[in-house]
Structure 1
Amino acid sequence: MLTIGFDAKRYFLNRSGLGNYSRDLVRMLASNFPDQKYILYSPKLSEFSSVVPKGVEVRVPSSKMDRLIPNLWRSKTIANDLRKDDVNIFHGLAGELPQGLVKKNIKSIVTIHDLIYLRYPELYKPIDRFIYNQKSKYAVENADCIIAISEQTKKDIIRYYQVPEDRIQVIYQGCHPAFKQSFTSAEVKEFKKKLNLPEQYLLNVGTIEPRKNAFQIIKAIKDIDIPLVIVGRPTPYVDGIKEYLLKHKMEDRVIFLSGMSMTELALIYAGASIFVYPSKFEGFGIPIIEALFAGVPVISNKFGVFPEAGGPASSYIDPENIEELRDTIQKVLGSEELREKMITEGKAFVQRFDDEVIAEQLMECYSAL
């Protein structure tokens, strides 16, 4: 039996993104390989304590000093707790690893999600870029195995950190079981009524920020009679969007939502006509997977990782070409036959991201150490 420890800060303290990745990974492992021992290490806990799978143990800093300086604990002194718990492998789920694992005879794995701060440095504050780079650089140089969440991320790790290809394994992300549920038309209709959603709508999911590029969708549908639902945490980027909506009298055609539960979000997907995701760059693009599992046609970026996530049945555009995006939206909306083909083939493609497949790959990675 292996004892596997996880850096679980994001598990407990992030509602989306790295938090979802951490919770899904632990859930998949605990469900498919319950004979192994799993321990979550976090500086503090949260409401996500209620979703910790049965049998998975949780640790917080045990000494007064570690509780006072949790960052020091996560980066260094946690190694003492890992040794006390007889941890064989420590998995850094969010691009970083603590020091001192080799001295404690503990193998290590790190998941690298993306290197956007190196690709698009203008999107980050200098201090944030420096910290992210220092953590990732240390992790990839010292990990026994590096997991990249996509082929795109693997290429970036090789490019920016000159890591040998054979040290990197691509293991994709899964997604929450809620998106694999089958909802009846009555359930979807009732939910739309509850949230006052229109009968038909385009959908975009993700933090509302420049990189995610939701503004492009709004410009593309200016002359198309279809509303847009955007689900995500707002940033100052929203101000420019709302100014545009006012100027073009589109305020009643765009609905902003946030704070949805997974089941509520799955119902929003299920009610959508098309999922539109013109993000400029992602490490993977988990909302695409959610949409495919939910049975929604996808339109996304033709460059980078997006075709890797969306598969051959999705439609792809240049995210900076508003005319191409508009024409593609109209094409998919105008053909029920095309929509059904995208849905059916998308569901078949997305099975490669199913829980059992990913859990098996993860356990092979752990066992190889």
Structure 2
Amino acid sequence: MDSQTANTLHQAPRTVFFDVSTLNPDKVTGIGVYMNQLWQHLKDHPKVKFIPVIKLSRLKNRKKLEAYLGRKIQPLWPWTGIATKNAVYHGPDFKISMGSSIPKVVTIHDMVVFEKSYNTSAFYNKGIDDLTAVLKSDLSAVIVNSEFTKQEVLKYFPELASKTYVTYLGCDRSYPLPEKIASLSTEKYILFLGTLEKRKNVTAVLEAFKILCQKGTDHKLVLAGTWGFGDDEIKAAIAKFPFPEKLVHLSYVPNTQIEELFKKATAFVFPSLYEGFGIPVLEAMSLGCPVVTSNEGVLKEVTGEAALHASPHSPQEIAEKLEQLIHSEELRSKMIKLGKEHSRRFTWKTCAEETLKVYQKI
């Protein structure tokens, strides 16, 4: 640990109330990965006591969460923390559950609720109201996962400019021993991993892959993910796809299979239209899978020169980039090397240390 980090940790608060109310031990994805990784890297800090807390409406989940986290969880009463000196409360999942006067930090992972085309009307209206209430509350700091998301927050809440801090996420989580996926044991395939929803641009992936099929590709397309908003359009595109034998849908993929999926894929395609960070592209890189992704928004920011970029609005461009990786082993090897080097910059240890610095600043 360098002297600057040691000095920062020395000045950190003595107590952090870390809200785990929405963590689901049975399905740790997305924000759950973030919460779990922060907890694992901070729970045994020598100078700061991290106390997991849970709001009263989630108390029925407490025993399962305690078994998962390996620590007793404290109910979040209205008076929690009032008498605790040098304490901070952190809501890591968009929400603030504490109303007391201690400093409060919230993590905003994206501002997609402000994008009407990616939400139901009910969720759009409620999401804006809920997130606005959080960001207009008495906050000491807002943590975001990228410069892109910081600008999205400030577009709607410019008054938070001096309180908003970027802490990039990590992609270096460990996986259990991989399980074999029988249906893909000898197949060549291109992989998409993520919720099958409108903003992930799955229909463009299907259009791009159709172009490859028309050229006689020997690859399949694996769509790994559960259904999400706008799935009617995606299901319709799959139903009329002219090469159905080339499509494989794996639904939810457990951690025991993710590593094998990435390592055996020829390429990972992720031309999402809107992300707050984009952990899957970095995980793919770290596991030696070259990436084709969007040339705009946060995905350009987090992948730099270590991925091939295409317009998410052009299936033709996406197909061309995939075709390059399929037919050029030299390019594929180059992108695998660049991807592994680039992904090493994004660690959960660094994310935890940067989070501690935010606590210290407030």
Secondary structure of 1:177 counterpart: coil
The structure-2 alpha-carbon separation of the partners of 1:207 and 1:25, relative to structure 1 and needing over 3 Å to count, comes to: same
- Return the match for 2:265 from 272, 289, 296: 272
Answer 1 or 2: which has greater helix percent. 1
Change (3 A) 1:340 1:163: farther
The match for 2:68 among 48, 51, 70 is: 51
Determine the C-alpha separation between the residues in 2 that align with 1:340 and 1:48: 42
* Structure 2 residue 174 is matched with structure 1 residue 178: yes
1:207, 1:233 within 8 Å by CA — same for their partners in 2? yes
Measured after TM superposition, the shift of residue 356 of structure 1 is 2.0
Paired with 1:240 and 1:339, the residues of 2 have a C-alpha distance of 32
- Structure 2 unpaired stretches of 5+: 1-12
- Structure 2 counterpart of 1:158, which letter? L
Seen in structure 2, the aligned counterparts of structure 1 residues 88 and 295 have a Cα distance that, compared at 3 Å, is same
- Please give the alpha-carbon distance, in whole angstroms, between the structure 2 residues aligned to 1:343 and 1:168: 34
Distance in 1 (alpha carbons) for counterparts of 2:132 and 2:237: 41
**Aligned counterparts, 1:1-369, within 5 A:** 2-12=14-24, 15-30=28-43, 33=45, 35-42=47-54, 43-44=58-59, 45=61, 49-52=66-69, 54=70, 56-60=71-75, 78-83=77-82, 88-98=87-97, 100-102=99-101, 106-118=102-114, 120-141=115-136, 142-175=138-171, 177-178=173-174, 191-192=180-181, 194-224=182-212, 225=217, 226-235=219-228, 237-369=230-362
Normalization by structure 2: what TM-score?
0.84
Moved more, 15-24 or 124-133: 124-133
Give 2:284's aligned amino acid.
A
Q: Letter of the aligned partner of 1:41 in structure 2? A: V
C-alpha separation in 2, matches of 1:24 and 1:284 = 16
Higher RCO (CA 8 Å, separation ≥ 6 residues): 2
Query: What's the TM-score, normalizing by structure 1?
Result: 0.83
- DSSP 3-state at the match of 1:22: helix
Q: Between the two proteins, what is the percent identity of the paired residues?
A: 27
Contact 1:95 1:135 in 2 (8 A): no
Deviations 1:52-71 (A, max 9, x none): 1x4x431346xxxxxxxxxx
Q: Is the CA contact (8 Å cut-off) linking 1:274 and 1:298 kept in structure 2?
A: yes
* Number of residue equivalences: 338
Aligned to 1:75: none
